[in-house]
Structures are given as C-alpha cells and as structure tokens.
Amino acid sequence: MSQHRLTGPLFIAEGDPYSEHNRQMHALGAVGYAENGDLYRYTKILSTASDLIAGNLQVSLAREANHQNVALSAAAAVGDTKVIPTMGATAVDANEYDEGWLSFSDVSPEGESYKITTHEANAGSLATDVNLERGLLTAATTSSEVTLVRNPWNNPAISQLLTERAAGVSIMDWDVSVANFGWLKTRGVAACLVDTSGVTVGFLCSISNETNGAVGLKSDMDAEVVIGQAMQTATAGEFNPIWFSID
C-alpha cells in the first residue's frame, strides 16, 4: 500500500460497507466513515479461514511469544529498510505481519517503531528478513531486541480471548472463499451475539470470556476493555443491538 503518512478521513469510496472485494483497495485498518458517523475498519480475511457470520465479534490473532524481544542477527545502519531478527521456535507464516509493526524493545534504538511491508516466512528459530516502510532513524546492533506486532485487521479471528485487540463486528455474512477484503464495524449500533450470561440494557460490554464471537457484561477484571454499551436487555445466546465504541 501507499507510504505511511498523515491524511484526512476516508469516506467509503464504494459507498457500501456491505460489499466485499477480491483485491485490496485500502490499507489494512483504514477507517471508513459513514454519513451518520458510524466507523468501519478495512480488513483482510484469509480464504483458508471460516466464513464470517453477521453479528460475530472479531479480534486480532493471539501474540506469538517467540516473536517478541528477539535480537537482531546482524547490525543495521541508519537508512536501512531491512532488519534481520532471529525468531524463536515458532514458525513465521507468510504475510502474517504485513502492515503490522516492528518495535525496538531493548537497547538502542529502543522506543522506535516501524511499519512492516513484507517479511520472510520460515519454520522458526531462524534469521528472518523483515522489510520496513521507512529507513531506520537510529543504527541498531546485534544486541538490539525487537518485537513484531500484527495489524489487528490482517486476518483477525473470531473472538475468544480477553487480551486481544477487538477488530470489529461482522455486519454481514462474508464468504471469504470468494472475497478476502471488506469492512468490520467498530463504532455505532450493530447486532452482536451475546454470551451465556446475557447483557443488561445500559451496561458496558467487553469481549466475552464465555462464548466465541460474543460480547458479555464488563466485570471488574483489568483485562476487560470496554468495547460497547448494551442498547437493550438481551437473552443469552441471541443477537442484541450494541453501541460499539472500539474506535
């Protein structure tokens, strides 16, 4: 996609957030505004994934511990657009970090983050080429440690973990064997599956820890991030209008 830069808001060019595409038309995670202020995020779903079902919540894939705080296998100079971390013993899948981020977590240039364009795939425990959108602002050494972070809208999964970033709710049945790109709703009213405990009108909702793809009432757990508010009291296991506030 195009160079990372500051832009104005994107108004959905197709005029229809209910359309899917078989080719990428926007950056992953691009925000689309509807005329009434509802927000959507542009999303890629792999054709090997299950079809998206309307009203199911999607979240970023779980983090790979062996792709965090890993050292570089070679030094990198100012201006280099490739760094080569040595991954731990977990495979690096093709395209899994595309349009995600590489953050320097320890030793200079710690604190700097870069958008990933492409990277190698391998079986793990190997030096891995990671290509960056812009050149390094500070030189890195073999003592520098990096963490790779997925773009939440690059092949999200049906929700099942409280600790993952909510990517949005599917607003339509989506046949991913036909089209891989489309929109998830992140702000505004949408029907969503409710977990086995149900929700109460006006109460805050978070990712359910009971039912995949569902919302549940927020408790006092620090891990539970507010993603919306119940618009009516709902029966457990049914679909309820939720005011989503993921964005």
Q: Is 130 helix (H, G, I), strand (E, B) or coil?
A: strand
pTM tops 0.85:
yes
What does the buried/exposed string (b/e) look like for 64-77 if buried means 16 or more CB atoms within 10 Å of the residue's CB? Answer: beebbebebeeebe
Q: Is 67 helix (H, G, I), strand (E, B) or coil?
A: helix
Q: CA 5 from chain center: how many Å?
A: 19
Rounded distance between C-alpha atoms, residue 124 and residue 66, angstroms: 9
Give me the tens of pLDDT residue by residue for the chain, a chain 247 residues long. Answer: 556 665 666 665 556 889 898 999 889 999 988 888 899 999 999 887 788 999 999 999 989 999 999 999 999 999 999 999 999 999 999 999 999 999 999 999 999 999 999 999 999 999 999 999 999 999 999 999 999 999 999 999 999 888 899 999 999 999 998 999 999 999 999 999 999 999 999 999 999 999 999 999 998 777 789 999 999 998 899 999 999 999 9
In order of start, what are the domains of the chain with their CATH numbers? 10-60+155-245 (no CATH), 64-149 (2.40.30)
